[in-house]
Chains A and B, each alone.
Chain A
Amino acid sequence: DVKVTQSSRYLVKRTGEKVFLECVQDMDHENMFWYRQDPGLGLRLIYFSYDVKMKEKGDIPEGYSVSREKKERFSLILESASTNQTSMYLCASSAGGAAGDTEAFFGQGTRLTVV
Chain B
Amino acid sequence: AQTVTQSQPEMSVQEAETVTLSCTYDTSESDYYLFWYKQPPSRQMILVIRQEAYKQQNATENRFSVNFQKAAKSFSLKISDSQLGDAAMYFCAYRSLVQGAQKLVFGQGTRLTINP
Contact = CB atoms under 8 A, between A and B. Distances in A.
B84 interface: no
B109 A42 contact: yes
Interface of B: 4, 6, 9, 31, 33, 35, 42-45, 47, 50, 91, 95, 97, 99-109
Contacts of A56: 100-101, 103
A50 B95 CA distance: 14
B interface, over-half SS: loop
A interface, over-half SS: strand
B8 to A, nearest CB: 12
Interface residues of A, number: 26
A106 B45 contact: yes
Contact of B99 (A90, A96, A102, A108): A96
Interface of A: 31, 33, 35, 40-45, 48, 50, 56, 58, 88, 90, 92, 94, 96-98, 102-104, 106, 108-109
Given A50-B100, A56-B100, A109 B109 contact: no
B107 A31 contact: no
Q: Sort A-B residue pairs by CB-CB distance and give the 9 closest, nearest first.
A: A106-B45, A43-B106, A42-B108, A98-B97, A42-B106, A109-B43, A42-B109, A50-B100, A48-B103
B50 A102 contact: yes
